[in-house]
Structure 1
Amino acid sequence: MAAEGGRRRGLGLLFVVSALLAGAAAVWLYDRYTGFADAPLQGIEQGQTLRVERGDSFVRVLGRLREAGIDAGHELEWRLLARQLGADARIQVGEYALDPATTPRRLLEQMRDGQVVSYRFTIVEGWNIRELRAALAKAMPLEQTLGAMDDAALMAALDRPGVHPEGRFLPETYAYTRGDTDLDLLRRANRALEQALQGAWESRAHDLPLEDADQALVLASIIEKETGIASERAQIGGVFTRRLRAGMRLQTDPTVIYGMGSTYDGNIRRADLLADTPYNTYTRDGLPPTPIAMAGVEAIRAATNPADGDALYFVAVGDGSGRHVFSRTLDEHNAAVREYVRRYRERFSPQ
């Protein structure tokens, strides 16, 4: 009986020791697991990114980390953590930012939620289509697909066949991700322009001397090129609206410059004002045939809701501020022009 009792005590002790060892092992494994999940990955350099491509397996993603010189640890730990976070079957394609503080938990959460790296491209108010295409060609990592595609082919690719591309893209900052193309971005900018233009046209002032929204866009592009002063846009819109209503020619230099194309060298001469082109508003009545630049939302609003008033002329102040003097009569305007010339000579004549 005593021997049997001893065996029972021995088995009990063995069970206790085994349980303690199992508990200690579980604690050790848990500490190791949590230490792995929340410890910064080793080997990451500032500015590094991780790309997950379509068809990549979980093992391939870990392989990309190791190829980048990052200590990715053991696959089992990654799989356990991914399952805990619900990321094991939800890793999304894209480019992910890495920094020296990135942990496995944070990286898996990023890939699960599709928190990809975002880049930005700004279409500047007043750009023409040549300037826009040149800037797009330098935007990285935007995929370049336009290449030698001419403007007609470009607009056809945007489902806008036969439409002139000038002015058809809204000046704004657009976010994009690696894998997006230049055509993707232009498609978004074109849609944004059409929405802004349609909204402005629907809320336009009554009795505008404009036939449709496209003419409003043409006028908006001229306003955009005439001033960089936001508070003046509606005033200039008012001047042009009154001139159109009265049958006066617009006589605006930016349209002449646009019509000159690559021959423009920074100066407009009297001969240029007299040289007839479809865009010369000194020689032709009404609006030019297309916009001359990318017009922003405020310029579009100025074209569709111009300011009231009786001014028919304006000229730069001449002090370098970009501001203008508005005049009701030609005599007042001529006096303002003489003052502009005087101030200009004072600013640039040799001392």
Structure 2
Amino acid sequence: MYIKKILVVIALLGIVVLAGFSWYIYDVIFSSNTSFSEETVEVFVPTDANYSQVQELLEPYVEDLNEFNIVAQKKGYINNVKAGRFILKKGMNNNEIINTLRSTNEPVWVTFNNQERLEDLAGRIASQIEADSIALLKSMKDTAFLREYGFNERNALAMYVPNKYQFFWNTSALEFRERMRKEYNNFWNEKRLAKAEEIGLSPHEVMVLASIVQKETSKVDERPKVAGVYMNRINNGWKLDADPTVIYALKDRLQNFDTIIKRVLYADLTIDSPYNTYKYKELPPGPIAMPDISSIDAVLNYEDHNYFYFVADVENFGYHKFARTLSQHNANKRAYVKWINEQKINR
């Protein structure tokens, strides 16, 4: 009888211990283990990161790292770390955190516009995805790639059509470049290609002219009208005489694209550069800036009119006054020169 009681006690103790252990395991796996007050936090796990790096990344957000390690070991995550951007929610348990880290790489929105050079674009993209600016620029300037797809270093900026794109944060430089090449091909669909052919320009030439239109006016509704002026000049064998191309030529000669030039001087018009459309009739060898879609479509669907000249409208800032004849233009220009002199803008 005494032995039987002992066995019963041992059995009960075993059940209690087992229940306690089971509760502990349940608690480790399924109880909340976050330590942040925000609704969500982002964790960026680099490519080729190991588990020790993940621990460092999680330490500010996980209440009990030891408990997390136990579950990570049991679920095989320690030897199967995934790179990417992961969203942790307040109140997540260890099981949910690990499931998120190994299977829920959240994309990021990548945006860019108004870049003047590949260097600027690479820096802009590097601030939004894992790839650094050096790797991005190297891939963008890769001679073999550019030659294969009909680009060169001067016009390669045209391949990157400004928009809002979804990427995984851990996208490599080469993956980014390949995606943008496909986006460029998608952008130049049959309809746009037919439009370019109709107006007598290649896609590259459209992008170059669109970049000039972009720099001439920030007003989207005015861009088709400005594009119409330039198309009139092209169709009549004139030089473009576009001030923004002179500004770009100056920056290119100085290799200083941070300089601000508010006024083009007569002396600037003589600078010997393929970008100077006061000196050369041909379009510049590449875009002088990254044209957005509204500028590109403004060229493809330019306004049909008889204007050949335009100058900034000092009575309606941001817009321009258009003229059919040089005498009309000179009258408009006098008002602008008077205003700019009053502002004491010398450069």
Class of the TM-score when normalised by the shorter of the 2 chains: 0.7 to 0.9
2:161 matched to which residue of 1? 170
Query: Aligned in 2, Cα 1:91/1:342: closer, same or farther, shift over 3 Å?
Result: same
Is 1:38 equivalent to 2:31 in the alignment? yes
Query: Within 1, Cα distance between the matches of 2:42 and 2:206?
Result: 47
Is 1:338 equivalent to 2:328 in the alignment? no
Is 1:234 equivalent to 2:227 in the alignment? no
Amino acid at match of 2:33: P
Trace 1:1-351 onto structure 2 (pairs within 5 A): 22=15, 26=19, 29-30=22-23, 33-34=26-27, 36-41=29-34, 49=43, 51=45, 60=51, 64=55, 68=59, 71-74=64-67, 77-78=71-72, 82=75, 92-97=82-87, 101-116=91-106, 122-133=111-122, 135=124, 141-146=130-135, 153-157=141-145, 159-160=148-149, 163=152, 164=154, 165-174=156-165, 176-177=167-168, 179-198=170-189, 201-204=192-195, 207-210=198-201, 212-260=202-250, 261-263=252-254, 266=261, 267-318=263-314, 321-348=317-344
In the alignment, structure 2 segments of 5+ residues that lack a partner are none
Amino acid at match of 2:31: D
Query: Within 1, Cα distance between the matches of 2:284 and 2:57?
Result: 60
Query: Within 2, Cα distance between the matches of 1:328 and 1:216?
Result: 24
Aligned pairs, number = 330
Query: Aligned in 2, Cα 1:233/1:317: closer, same or farther, shift over 3 Å?
Result: same
* Residue 111 (structure 1) shift: 2.1
Query: Within 1, Cα distance between the matches of 2:19 and 2:104?
Result: 33
* Residue 119 (structure 1) shift: 5.5
Query: Within 2, Cα distance between the matches of 1:320 and 1:231?
Result: 14
- Summarize deviations over 1:8-41 as a string: whole Å, max 9, x none: xx89x959x9689848954873575156423124
SS at match of 2:330: helix
* Residue 306 (structure 1) shift: 0.9
* Residue 253 (structure 1) shift: 1.0
* Residue 166 (structure 1) shift: 3.9
Query: Within 1, Cα distance between the matches of 2:13 and 2:238?
Result: 98
Query: Within 2, Cα distance between the matches of 1:23 and 1:137?
Result: 56
1:315–1:325 Cα contact (<8 Å) kept: yes
- Summarize deviations over 1:279-317 as a string: whole Å, max 9, x none: 222232242333222111111111111122222211111
2:122–2:136 Cα contact (<8 Å) kept: no
**Pair member with larger Rg:** 1
* Residue 327 (structure 1) shift: 2.0
Query: Aligned in 2, Cα 1:196/1:53: closer, same or farther, shift over 3 Å?
Result: closer
Query: Within 1, Cα distance between the matches of 2:101 and 2:161?
Result: 32
Amino acid at match of 1:154: D
Query: Within 1, Cα distance between the matches of 2:323 and 2:170?
Result: 52
Which piece of structure 1 moves more, 23-32 or 167-176? 23-32
2:158–2:204 Cα contact (<8 Å) kept: no
Amino acid at match of 1:108: I
* Residue 49 (structure 1) shift: 3.4
Q: Normalising by structure 2, what TM-score?
A: 0.73
Amino acid at match of 2:161: L
In the alignment, structure 1 segments of 5+ residues that lack a partner are 1-5
Which piece of structure 1 moves more, 27-36 or 339-348? 27-36
Amino acid at match of 1:294: M
Query: Within 2, Cα distance between the matches of 1:150 and 1:23?
Result: 63
* Residue 262 (structure 1) shift: 3.2
